[in-house]
Every structure is written in C-alpha cells, then in structure tokens.
Structure 1
C-alpha cells in the first residue's frame, strides 16, 4: 500500500486527508512541522508528500513552505510533492511548480481532484520505480556480459540487442554453423566477431567474404581458390577464403547471393571439410567454423528454387535474428555518442530528432549522419538542423512522446478537468513540461 506524508500544522487538515486516503487504500502519516516531516522522510518509506506552505501563526508569505520544499528536493530529488495553500495568489507556489513540485492546490481542496492527482502521481512514481529497477537489472546484466565475454567493444543499451549478444556468446563455444539474419547495416558482422572472439578457435583467423559484393562467376574462386588458368585472367594459383580461414572462422555475408553451383560446393565443404580449387582435381582439407549472414528471405528463395533447402538447414543450425535499429531504440543515442567526434556534443533537439527518425539504413545510416554532422557543424553542439534528416520521414514510435500543439494541450486539460497531473500523464509529459507548454501557448494555469 502506498504511503503519503502530510506535513501540516493544522490537525483537522491532517485528519480530513487521512480519512479521505484511508477510504481509497492509501496509507498516510502526519507531521505538524517541517522538522518532524523531514525526520519521517528519513525513517519511513514515503511515496508522496503533501505539504502546507505556512506553519507559523499569522504567516502568509510561503517562505516556510519554500524552505521545506527545498530541503525535501535536496534529500529526495525524485519524490513527488503536492503543495497545499490557503493563499492561491502566492507566486511562490507557482515558482515551486517550476522548480519541480508536482502540483499545488488551494484550501479547501476538491476531494475528487486531489485524489485524481495523488493516484496519478503514485502510479507514475510506481512506474518510475519499476523502470529504475528494470534499468538497474539491465545494467547489471550488461556488466556481467562484459565481464564474462569479449564483446569486441560493441555499444548497446537496448534489451533486444542484449538478447542477441547474450545468445551469440552462449553459442560461441559450439562448432555448429550460425546464421545471422537481419537488415543491411544492422551490425551482423559485429555479432559474427563476438562469436569468433568467444569461440574455441578465437586465436585462429577471422576471414570475411561479402557474397553480394562480387560477380557470381568470381564468388567460387574467392571461396575455394583457383589454380593458374582456371579462368580468364587467372595467371597464377591463389588460395580461397576457406584455406585462409583454416583453424578459425569464415564469415559469409549476404549468403543469399551465392550462385547455385557455389551453394552445392559450400554444402559439401560444410559436410566433409573437403573441397577443390577451381581448375584443380586435388582435394584439400580444412577445419573452419562457418558463420553466415543474410538480409534475404531464404525460405522464399527456397520456394523459388534459387537457394538450396539442404544448404539452408546446414547453415541454420543456430539462427540469430538481429532486429533493425528502429526496433532497438535504446541503442540509438549510445551509438550516436560513439560516432560523434570527441570535440562535438549532441544537443537536445538533435537527440529528439534521432529518436524520431525511422533509420531505414540502420546503424550504417546513423554513423554516416553523425559523422557528416560532426564534420559540417561549425559550433561545438550538433542540433537537429545539422543532421539533415528528411522532414517527411515517418515518426518512429519510441518512449519519447510527440510534441503536443496548443489544441492537444487544451483538449487534454479539458478531459482531465484541469487536473495537471492527469493531463500531463495523458500527453506523456512531466507536470513541469506541461506547465512550460501552457506558458508557451499562454494558457491559464488555473
């Protein structure tokens, strides 16, 4: 059961509030002075404070309330505080709202509005505490991964990325082939590096081949090597990627671009460890861990007859799916900071724009955007206008809310009956953020 601390020198006020809260399953404790209230905050588990603004007889300045609020904020910066005052004209109450107070209400208060505000704040506080606990758990989990495995300096914060990385570390010790799926630019090669770095062949070579970057007639020669005269221009014998990666790992990116003839030979190597160079009849033996990656729909290619089903199942002993960056929003800002030049800083408007952008080019696009902005921005701070992101791009759904206009703010206030906490929660804003927008749109605070 949540607990509210009531700091008010009037016992009748405390009694009325205690009765009101007890009828709605909210516990409460009472302190008659600021000193007693601060002491209770240190000894009790308090979820919300309701404080008076004046405690001495014949005092209406609000100075005592200001001092109490400042003391609470200094010791418990995230604790929501509601101000109660019989002097609604006091500018100090408004200033305290701007300084971080959750809300203020006039005496005598409206029970319905007060309960709505308290329940909203308690719910938001519980959500914030749960979010803090989850973030703390995720941070410990990341630290454990970093301590236990070689993550090759990968930067990540989103739970979706952590799941893929943790699974990559888990399967690394196996010698089974791994297929990494995901869109272009998402970071599939980095996952392959992590698998190699934590595998039994981590001290062996790590060789990569992008099957989509070569003409089909050259891919086989790149994979298996060629003897002199095997094809036009082959003036001398050359080893292929399989020979180069013997005793280590071969990463085949864009495996869907491998021609059918090459697919058949690759399947044989995976099954026997044997192959011949192009133009040669001599078999060669290798011991290679194969990791492949693709952004293609291989099952659809199998149905179309352009990819061998037996090779698919041989490559796909373990599949790791790396989501696009748009589905890993927690990675966007940490990666942006990584790509940002050390002499530059990313401003708040740029951060908001980065979170809104859908990133069809994924991590590769993000790197290019930040590096270009860092190069072209004259000042030390990169702002949204420096990113040169398309304004027509669809807005990505993230934990950040869209900027509400005047009509949206007015509508939310109307639906909430003027209760700031409720309207702010509906708009996805803090109370302080909502007050700033009300001031910007010249909307009355009362």
Structure 2
C-alpha cells in the first residue's frame, strides 16, 4: 500500500487529509514540523509528500516550506512533493515547480482534484521507477557484455541476467561453484563463462561428464592409474585432475560419482592431494572445481548416496539455472540465433513456441531449429517445421484458445472478410482451433 506523508503544523489539516486519504485506501502518516518529516523519510518508505509552506506562527513567506522542499529533494530526488499553502506566492510557486515540485495547491483544497493529482503522481512515479530499473538493468547488461567474456551466450530474460551477473562476479574468486538446473538448460555454458572470466582463463579447462563414465573406470579417469592397476591398463594414465593443474576442472553430473570417488574428491578439494590407482605416490595439484547436477543432492544425502561434507565443499557458491519454460523471453532470441535469422517466424509458430513448455530446454529448442533449417520450404518459419507432435500442438492450442473471447473471433473474421485461414493467422491459431472456438460461441461458419 502506498504511504503518504503529510507535513503540516495545523493538526486539523492533518486529520482532514488523513481521513480523506485513508477512505481512498492510502496509508497515511503525519507530522507537524519539517525536522520530524525528515526523520520519517529516513526511516520509512514514502510514496508521496504533502508539504505545508509555513510552520511558524504569523509566518506567510513560505521560506520554511521552500527550505524543507529542497532538503527533501536532496534526500530523495524522485519523490513526488505536493506543496500546500494558504498564502500563494506566484513567483515562489513557479520556482519550486521548475525545481521539481509535483504541484502547488492553495488551501482550502478541492478533495477530488487532490485525489486525482495524488493517484496520477504515484502511478507516474511507479512507472518511472520501473523504467529506471529497466534502464539500469540494460546499462548493467551492456557493461557486462562489453567487459566480460560470455562465450556467445544468448539470452534476454532478467532471470538469466541475474545468473550471468553472479557467474561473472564469482569467476574472479577461487571458490568452488555448483551449478544446478535441468538437463539441456545450459549448465556447461555457465561453467565456460566462469572459467573464461577467472584468473585461470589461460590455464587448462578440462570437462568431465561423470554420468558418461563407466563406474569401474571413473576413478582412473579422474585421478589417473599406473600401468597394471587394472585389467587393460598397459601404461600409465594421467587423470583429469593432473591435466587440469593450474586451471579449472568442470565435473558435470556430479551426483553420479561413486562413494569411493566422492571420498577421493573431497580429499583433493581439502588438500589438493591424491594418488593414482595402483600407486602410493602422492601428487599435489592446484585446480578449481566447478561442478553441475540436475539431481537433488540434498535428497541423495538423505538416502546415503552423496556425502554431506562433499556437498558443502562443492556448494560454496550455487548458481541455479532456470529451465527454459521459466525464461520464455529467451526463446525467440535463441531461435533467431539457431536459425541464423534467415527468415521470420509466422505468428502461429511464434505463439505456439512461446507456449510450449520445452521439457528438453535449450537443447531441445536447438534440435527443433536444426530440423526447421533442414525441412522448411516457406518464406516464414512454420510451426510444423519445428517438429512438435500433434498432441503437443493440440495442448498448446487448447491453452491459447481459452483466452480468446467471442469479440476477438468476430473482429478477426471481419478484418479477414470472413476468410477462415486469414482470420486464424491474425489470431495466431490453426484453422481447426478457430473452427472449434466458433462452434463454442455459435458463430456461423
């Protein structure tokens, strides 16, 4: 609820304004001196100030209000301030309005005019604050894009912007990072950004997919093995930790690491030391570990499948990568990137692709775009080019058409001169979906 601060030495004025504003669902606080008003502004979130111009007895110059006005502006430059006075000084009114006063009203005031002014000012200020926030976000994004290596990451959503900000920030440290998120969302790309912007960016960057390693070879892959350590080991094998010495090791699908491998990994993270399989010689390395998982490691800890002490070693900093369905602002930029912006999306395809849940995330979208590049023959990308199954398309259409009103349908039909295919294109749905909606409303075909 928006809170309004009234600063007026007249108790009756404060009471009258408080009753008026509270009836119209504003929160109100009042005080009787500029000094007290400054204290309130320093402690509370205020959306608008109504400020009297005179506070001392028999004073009509307005200088006290003028001084208070400039102090408030110095504290909060964007805060709307309505000046209220029984003694109007036109020259001072012009000066203060030019200096940012929202309005200059005479006592007695017009209730309706005051209410309209307050509502408009609060709404305008909120709009300006949103615009300023978006502008700051854009400036920060431009700054990061200009100064950081984002490894070609394509995104538009604010959730990804926050994640990228964090990734670039933590890259400069040497802390272990755990990237969580669903398969295909881009966890490896975030790991690349961390490595590229770290102090180790000139060192090795070794990637290991733990989930793709056979259990019996996992430890030798990570820590190496001496000749004869196991059947088929006819020569010494250098592990990934040794290969990554002085750089970064990315362990994807860390939840699949065996318990014995987890114990060795914990030791490396604590001391930098390990032994190759079949050897008692201790090796020491300097490696930063970035890991990733789509599993619930806390649940795995409860089941005895993952070591709690290792989890906290890996999870010094956690970056949670959202699914593509949670950042749909990224879908169109990604499509444009994957299809090389070779032609535009049809309205129907755009509506469907933005309503699809993308369970396979960015990887699924990339595959769909590759399919479209191979099979599309039209001047625009069509929905069928992306290979969504009929069941998926019907589900999306069902959700979409529920939002269409009878007036929407009639307007589209009139604009298309009754041609069903044109009206469907205007609405961004298929002809079959439009027919079903027309049947629902009893619109004659």
| TM-score interval (norm. to shorter) | 0.5 to 0.7
**Over aligned residue pairs, what C-alpha RMSD do you find?**
3.5
Deviation, 1:238, is 1.3
* Structure 2: distance between partners of 1:386 and 1:304: 44
CA distance in 1: counterparts of 2:137 and 2:442, whole angstroms: 41
Matched, 1:176 2:175: yes
How far is the alpha carbon of 1:348 from its aligned partner? 2.4
Question: 2:299 is matched with which residue?
Answer: 300
Q: Hey, what does 1:360 align to over in structure 2?
A: 359
- Provide the secondary structure at the position in 1 that maps to 2:280: coil
Q: Distance in 2 between matches of 1:395 and 1:332?
A: 19
1:265-316, Cα deviation, whole Å (9 max, x unpaired): 0000000101111111111111000000000000110010010011001101
- The whole-number CA distance in structure 1 between the counterparts of 2:378 and 2:249 is 44
Cα distance change of structure 1 residues 203 and 395 upon mapping to structure 2, 3 Å threshold: farther
User: Aligned-pair distance for 1:131?
Assistant: 6.9
Query: How many Å separate the matches in 1 of 2:395 and 2:242?
Result: 47
Corresponding residue for 1:285? 284
Q: Would the aligned equivalents of 1:248 and 1:287 in 2 still touch at CA under 8 Å?
A: yes
Question: Aligned residue for 2:189?
Answer: 190
Partner of 1:202: 201
Judge conservation of contact 1:344–1:374 (CA < 8 Å) in 2: no
User: Structure 1 residues 405, 163: CA separation in 2 closer, same or farther (over 3 Å shift)?
Assistant: closer
Structure 1 residue matching 2:212: 3-state secondary structure: coil
Aligned-pair distance for 1:381? 2.1
Equivalent residues in 2 for 1:50-199, closer than 5 Å: 135-199=134-198
* Structure 1 residues 377-427: Cα deviation after superposition (integer angstroms, max 9, x where no partner): 123421112112134349689xx9757445475899xxxxxxxxxxxxxxx
Q: CA deviation at 1:375?
A: 0.8
- How far the C-alpha of 1:149 sits from its partner, in A, is 1.4
- Superposed CA deviations along residues 140-199 of structure 1, whole A, max 9, x for unmatched, are 221111122111111111001111110011111111100000000000011111111111
The farther-off stretch of 337-346 and 148-157 is 337-346
SS in structure 1 at match of 2:391: coil
2: CA distance, partners of 1:376 / 1:124: 50
**Other-structure match for 1:333:** 332
Distance in 1 (alpha carbons) for counterparts of 2:327 and 2:365:
13
Distance 2:209 2:148 in 1: 26
Where structure 2 has 5 or more consecutive residues not aligned to the other structure, the ranges are: 1-23, 25-121, 412-425, 429-433
Deviation at 1:317, TM superposition (A): 0.6
Structure having greater relative contact order (Cα 8 Å, sep ≥ 6): 1
User: CA-to-partner distance for each residue in 1:19-42, whole Å, 9 max, x for gaps?
Assistant: xxxxx9xxxxxxxxxxxxxxxxxx
Supply the distance in 2 between the matched residues of 1:155 and 1:254 (Cα, whole angstroms).
23
1-side partners of 2:301 and 2:386: how far apart? 41
Contact 1:184 1:361 in 2 (8 A): yes
Match of residue 255 from structure 1: 254
Q: Is the 8 A contact 1:358 1:395 kept in 2?
A: no
| Distance of 2:273 and 2:368 partners within structure 1 | 45
What is the CA-CA distance between 1:223 and the residue it aligns to?
0.5
Cα deviation, 1:115-135, whole Å, max 9, x if unaligned, reads xxxxxxxx9999998876655
Is the CA contact 1:226–1:279 (under 8 Å) kept in the aligned structure 2? Answer: yes
Alpha-carbon distance change, 180 to 279 in structure 1, aligned in 2, over 3 angstroms: same
1-structure distance, mates of 2:206, 2:192: 10
Aligned residues: 299
Alpha-carbon distance, 1:345 to partner: 3.5
Report if aligned partners of 1:341, 1:371 keep a CA contact under 8 Å in 2.
no
Contact 2:352 2:396 in 1 (8 A): no
TM-score with structure 2 setting the length: 0.61
Q: Which runs of 5+ in 1 are unaligned?
A: 1-23, 25-122, 413-431
Q: What is aligned with 2:348?
A: 349
| Distance in 1 between residues matched to 2:409 and 2:125, nearest whole Å | 27
Give the 3 Å change call, closer, same or farther, for CA 309–411 of structure 1 in structure 2: farther
CA distance in 1, matches of 2:395, 2:140: 30
Worse-matched range after superposition: 302-311 or 333-342: 333-342
The CA distance in 1 between the partners of 2:375 and 2:400, in whole Å, is 29
Distance 1:321 1:244, change over 3 A: same
SS of the equivalent of 2:372 reads: helix
Structure 2 equivalent of residue 321 of structure 1: 320
Inter-CA distance 380–133: structure 2 relative to 1 (3 Å threshold): farther
Matched residue, 1:264? 263
